[in-house]
Amino acid sequence: MLPLININRNLRSLNRYREVLGVLVTHGFGQIIEQLNLDYYLEMGKRIITRNPEAKHIERLPAPVRLRMVMEKLGPTFIKLGQMLSARPDILPDAYLLELRKLQNEVPPFSAAEVEKQIKKELGAPASELFDKFYPQPVAAASIAQVHKASLHDGTEVAIKVRRPGIEKIIETDLDILRALAMLLEKHGGLGNLCSPSEIVQEFNRTIYRELDFTKEGHTFGRFRSNFTDNDHVYIPQIFWEYSTEAILTMEFVDGIKISETKQLENAGYNLQHIADIGAQAFQEQFLSHGLFHGDPHPGNVMVVGPETICFLDLGMVGSISDDLKQQLSDLLLGIYRRDTERIAAVMLTAREKHKEINIAALKRDITEFIDDYYQVPLSRINSSKLINEFIYMMKKHHIKFPSDLMLLAKAIITIEGIGRQLDPDFNIIEHIEPAATELIKQRISGAKIQKELGLIVHAYADLAKTLPRDIKELLYQVNNNNFKIDLEHRGLEKVICDLDKSSNRISFSFIIGSLIIGSSIIMQADSGPHIFGIPALGMLGYTIAGALGLWLAIGILRSGRL
């Protein structure tokens, strides 16, 4: 039975489900429909999926291109999902990553009347009363929101981010569909060993709902503004909370030049190399000092507002580096610095996939080769994107999961390096990160840090000593009262069971067809019962039913591609 979850709540959800599956088929992913046993639900019982004339042309395109086209065709939710997957080399091959990075958020703006309606609904009054001036023509329009320029009654220029009306319901429906497809993919698709589709959807769910709630982005702006209070080279816009809600975000309007517009920057007299250095310094300060970094620092989100000042915009996507994650990073850096393969392997094995056997000797060999490739190589000659991708590939090869925040950080570092090299061909992000990383290592091996860690260990064991007797007593109580249960779950057999079920059904079907043919032949031979045109009616009926069932079985076998 198809796990529809909440999809059957209304007809629109069912139509959207059908639309998603139809787009997959049109773009040459019909084998997924067959593999997941969804063809029945797609055509409401028809076994043959109808394709439109465009499908043949589209199917000739490479699979990564077709996947990008599917994401674009299905709208905002799937575009956002594609953008998230474009930063996950641990999940998709390079060809898919490069193609999904082409996904654009730009869509036609919604009408000025809808903007006015949304502002009045959220802020309790029309824009003409709330603002001294309001410009109905949007500055930018994306899949989730669009931005309008306005000015407050005191003359302060502001940028108003307005959420697209009805986008929450669209995303809610699409997330239900993605959850159902993820469950089916794990059950029938055979991808559960490579990655967990349900975990990907769960992470995407968390990310996209954060982007939908503009108050969260507003608070992030506040944290960034506080973090960079003493940094004269970084400016973060102010949020006007009296004009902000979950669906409206009003912030200070910042006028500047996109950091990628090198010609404009040169014409303004700015030193491009210095700007690149400021951007790199600001970014390494975010993740190494603050533990909070911009997750999508593409050129449109970084403005140059002065000869020595840059501004970060659109903080809907951010990543965080917890103390535990920072400790793992410092352990990795310390292991690389000391060429300590054992330390690096120990850190990596903490992120190993469950139920996966890892060849420790092969992992250590790959780590040694990785270190040797980059050891004592001048930083100016190291390509950071290549280094990061090689490290991620090594983790993927040994079934070691890369934490999502570190994956976001890796993507951000590569993006920053790309911007930096536009400004300065000799730019190297590692040269800017190296001093801070060295300081992080020093803190990791300092006496104060070791003393603090020892204190935490002692405290943890003290808590364990307090709770252990109670836990043992509870366990013995459960055993003595026959309430102790062990749940066993088989893994990897779902596909085998499904295939066996299909095979047994086809064999049973064949027996029925054979029986009908034999029975009809006997009736024909006996020449008994009512006749039609001189032929026994029951025999003719039996042959007809056997022929129809045989044709149905043949179509099913041919469509499965397994003769």
How far apart are the C-alpha atoms of 316 and 215, rounded to whole Å?
10
Residue that the structure tokens 């659109």 belong to = 314
Among this protein's residues, is 405 annotated catalytic? no
Parallel, antiparallel or unpaired: strands 145-151 and 234-235: unpaired
H/E run at residue 302: strand 302-306
Q: Choosing from 176, 296, 366, 424, which is the catalytic residue?
A: 296
DSSP helix/strand/coil, 228 = coil
Is the CB of residue 294 less than 8 Å from the CB of residue 412? yes
Annotate 388-405 with three-state secondary structure.
Answer: HHHHHHHHHHCCECCCHH
382 to each of 377, 431, 549, how far by Cα in Å? Answer: 7, 9, 65
How far apart are the C-alpha atoms of 349 and 97, rounded to whole Å?
26
Is the CB of residue 27 less than 8 Å from the CB of residue 66? yes
* Neighbouring residues of 521: CB distance < 8 A, sequence distance ≥ 6: 539
Q: How many whole angstroms from its chain centre is CA 277?
A: 31
Cα angle 30-31-36, degrees, rounded to a multiple of 5: 105
First to last CA, the chain: 26
Is the CB of residue 289 less than 8 Å from the CB of residue 276? no
Residue that the structure tokens 């709630």 belong to = 213
Q: 449 is written with which tokens?
A: 């840090």
What DSSP designation does 189 have?
Answer: I
DSSP string, 428-458: -HHHHHHHHHHHHHHHHTSHHHHHHHHHHHH
How far apart are the C-alpha atoms of 41 and 52, rounded to whole Å?
18
28 Ramachandran zone, left/alpha/beta (phi>0; psi -120 to 50): left
DSSP string, 458-510: HHHHHHHHHHHHHHHHHHHHHHHTT---------S-HHHHHHHHHHHHHHHHH
Q: Name the residues annotated as catalytic.
A: 296
